[in-house]
Amino acid sequence: MTATCLASTGNSVIGVDIDAQKVRALAAGKCPIFEPGLEELMQAQLAAGRLSFTTDVGQAVRQSAVIFIAVGTPPRNDGSADLSNVEAIISGIAPYMDSSRVIVIKSTVPVGTGQRMSDLLMDLTAHPFSLVSNPEFLKEGAALEDFLRPDRVVIGSDDPDAIQMLTELYAPFVRTPQTILVMSREAAEMVKYTSNAYLATRISFINEIADICAATGVDIAEVCNGIGADRRIGRDFLNPGVGYGGSCFPKDVQALIQVASHAGCQANILRSVHERNEHQKLALAEMVLRRFGNDLTGLTFALWGLAFKPNTDDVREAPAIRVIQRLAAAGAQLRCYDPRACRNAAAMFPENAAIAFVDDPYDAVQGADGLLILTEWSEFRTPSFDRMRSQLRQRVIFDGRNLYQLATMQRQRMEYYSIGRPGILPPTKPNNSHAKGLGSSSAAGVMET
């Protein structure tokens, strides 16, 4: 995203990777990830000659005034960030530096990483350089819009020349000068972790409130509307569901816990956020087990949504993966559909006969004993309920994203369970030995879950 967008404003940009196959694909205009609008913009920059890709690190370093480091920092077993990729880049560029360079770390890194990498580079080259922290704040599924119209650009540096160079690079994208925030390198590193940890905290908080609402017969949607109207709180990230996933929130919360631990701090709130989210990922699977029993042998379930959020094909830490694992372990057969993420999800379950991935949402539903919704793709919001009723063997929906109104489910004669809201019982008691319900199965209409 960084390479493509910087090229779009007239800069000459060279993308470097050690994976030759990936470089060939990128050079041919094929993006390795799905992100709306990215591939088309990338192809336009390739055609204009402003963007190129190579495995030749030396060529890229010698031709560039600014070097962006944008590699992954995956979690280690203890949750701390693995910085080996960043270190490898620093070590790899040092031999090719022939004059002053501005080196920009966009990767998410713990506080103090900039100083550590600066010390490492000083040991490897005699040429002057400035190392800047410039964290990214791109939401998967809306990353292009976020880069082209950022809420803020954070530049962590005390070097006026480097700050000016980065300011000029980002000037075409910012609406006001106040959008660019200059601070210390350490503060910039902390801003990224703090932003993600706070948003994760809001998600875990509202999911905990949803549990309390479910236990007391309160509709969480009404509560969210009530507190979201408070300008001090706002409505964003107060949507109850099956928890957060992806490449950022899970690892960044754990990494910040480790940063705190190394600094002698407790981080009890962050630990609770992480534990709450791990519990929440299995919430829908537990609903299924309460409804049908712990032995799901002979039952088939449809899953709609595998990516951790809509408009991406990213299944890293996705709640759907945990749900699939849990239900398959209980003996269920699963048919899964996602508009973009089936291939990535299938790679996590090779040669598992109990788990099938299909190309059409209604193929997944055909003959299923229930439907689970785990990602809020737009195409799931107004499905053909008539078709679903005719294809489902048991008309049961477990909605992990609260896509449907309770009144709609009652009118559609669906048995319906969601997060933090009363459940909808079927009009008549199901004639099936597996149909145990989540409460009194003799009552029709609304029930608590």
Nearest to 192 by CA among 259, 131, 237, 241: 259
Active-site hit among 5, 213, 224, 248: 248
The tokens describing 374, both together, are 């785990």
Which backbone phi and psi does 310 adopt, to 5 degrees? -70, 165
Largest CA distance in the chain: 80
The tokens describing 44, both together, are 């336009």
Conformational region of residue 10, where left means phi above 0, alpha means psi within -120 to 50, and beta covers everything else:
left
Specify whether 265 is catalytic.
Answer: no
Burial of 318 (0-12, 13-18, 19+ CB in 10 A): buried
Amino acid, res. 418: S
Nearest to 183 by CA among 172, 194, 173: 194
Amino acid, res. 55: T
The tokens describing 187, both together, are 């503060």
The tokens describing 308, both together, are 């951790």
How far is the C-alpha of 368 from the C-alpha of 334, rounded, in Å?
9
Give the sign of the dihedral formed by CA 28, CA 32, CA 35, CA 36.
positive
Catalytic residue ranges: 248
